[in-house]
Structure 1
Amino acid sequence: MTSTVSAQPAPDTRSAAPERPGGLPPRPHGVRLDEVARSFDSPQGRHDVLRGLDVELGSGEILAVVGPSGCGKSTLLRLVAGLDRPSGGEIRIGATAIRGTDERTAVAFQEPRLLPWRTLEQNVALGLPRGTGKREGRERVRHLLQLVGLEHAAAQRPREVSGGMAQRTSLARALARSPEVLLLDEPFGALDALTRLRMQDLLLEIHAAEPTTVVVVTHDVEEALYLADRVLLLRTLREAGPDAGSLVRTVDVPGSRPRDRADRALAALRVELLAGLGVQAHQPTPTAATPTASTPTAATPTASTPTAATITENLS
Structure 2
Amino acid sequence: MVSMPPSAAPSHASGRPANALRLTGVGRAFAGERGARDVLRDVNIDLIPGEILAIVGASGCGKSTLLRLVGGLDIPTRGSILIDGTGVTDTDERTATAVQEPRLLPWRTLAENVEIGLPRGTGRRAAKQRVAELLHLVGLDHAADQRPREVSGGMAQRTSLARALARDPGVLLLDEPFGALDALTRLRMQDLLLDIHTAQPTTIVLVTHDVEEALFLADRVILLRPIANSGAGSIAREITVPGHQPRDRADRRLADLRADLLEGLGVDTHHHQHHQKEKSR
Which runs of no fewer than 5 residues in structure 1 stay unpaired? 1-22, 288-297, 300-316
Q: 1:212-291, aligned counterparts within 5 Å?
A: 212-237=202-227, 240-242=228-230, 246-282=234-270, 283-284=273-274
Corresponding residue number in structure 1 for 2:102 = 112
* Residues 279 and 103 of structure 1: CA distance in aligned 2, closer, same or farther (over 3 Å): same
Q: 1:66-145, aligned counterparts within 5 Å?
A: 66-145=56-135
Distance in 2 between residues matched to 1:48 and 1:178, nearest whole Å: 33
> Partner of 1:248: helix, strand, or coil?
strand
Q: What letter is aligned with 1:199?
A: M
Corresponding residue number in structure 2 for 1:179 = 169
Per the normalisation by structure 2, the TM-score is 0.91
User: What is the total number of aligned residue pairs between the two structures?
Assistant: 264
1:170 equivalenced with 2:125 (yes/no) = no
Contact (CA 8 Å) 1:125, 1:176: kept in 2 or not?
Answer: yes
Corresponding residue number in structure 2 for 1:3 = none
Q: Any idea what the Cα deviations from partners look like across 1:132-185, whole Å, max 9, x if unmatched? A: 011111111000000100010000000000000000000000000111000000
* Residues 44 and 165 of structure 1: CA distance in aligned 2, closer, same or farther (over 3 Å): same
Q: What letter is aligned with 1:264?
A: R
**Larger strand share, 1 or 2:** 2
> Partner of 2:19: helix, strand, or coil?
coil
> Partner of 2:212: helix, strand, or coil?
helix
Contact (CA 8 Å) 1:49, 1:72: kept in 2 or not?
Answer: yes
> Partner of 1:64: helix, strand, or coil?
strand
Corresponding residue number in structure 1 for 2:184 = 194
Q: Percent identity?
A: 66
> Partner of 1:235: helix, strand, or coil?
strand
> Partner of 1:254: helix, strand, or coil?
coil
* Bigger relative CO (Cα 8 Å, ≥ 6 apart): 2
Distance in 2 between residues matched to 1:241 and 1:29, nearest whole Å: 36
Cα drift, residue 129 of structure 1: 0.1
Per the normalisation by structure 1, the TM-score is 0.81
Cα drift, residue 101 of structure 1: 1.6
Distance in 2 between residues matched to 1:36 and 1:24, nearest whole Å: 29
> Partner of 1:139: helix, strand, or coil?
helix
**Corresponding residue to 2:197 among 186, 203, 207:** 207
Cα drift, residue 236 of structure 1: 2.1
The structure whose Rg is larger is 1
* Residues 200 and 233 of structure 1: CA distance in aligned 2, closer, same or farther (over 3 Å): same
> Partner of 2:54: helix, strand, or coil?
strand
Cα drift, residue 266 of structure 1: 0.1
Contact (CA 8 Å) 2:61, 2:231: kept in 1 or not?
Answer: no
> Partner of 2:269: helix, strand, or coil?
coil
Contact (CA 8 Å) 2:38, 2:232: kept in 1 or not?
Answer: no
Distance in 2 between residues matched to 1:103 and 1:141, nearest whole Å: 18
Cα drift, residue 284 of structure 1: 4.2
Corresponding residue number in structure 2 for 1:149 = 139
After superposition, the CA RMSD in angstroms is 1.8
> Partner of 1:79: helix, strand, or coil?
helix
Contact (CA 8 Å) 2:16, 2:170: kept in 1 or not?
Answer: yes
Cα drift, residue 44 of structure 1: 2.5
Contact (CA 8 Å) 1:69, 1:236: kept in 2 or not?
Answer: no
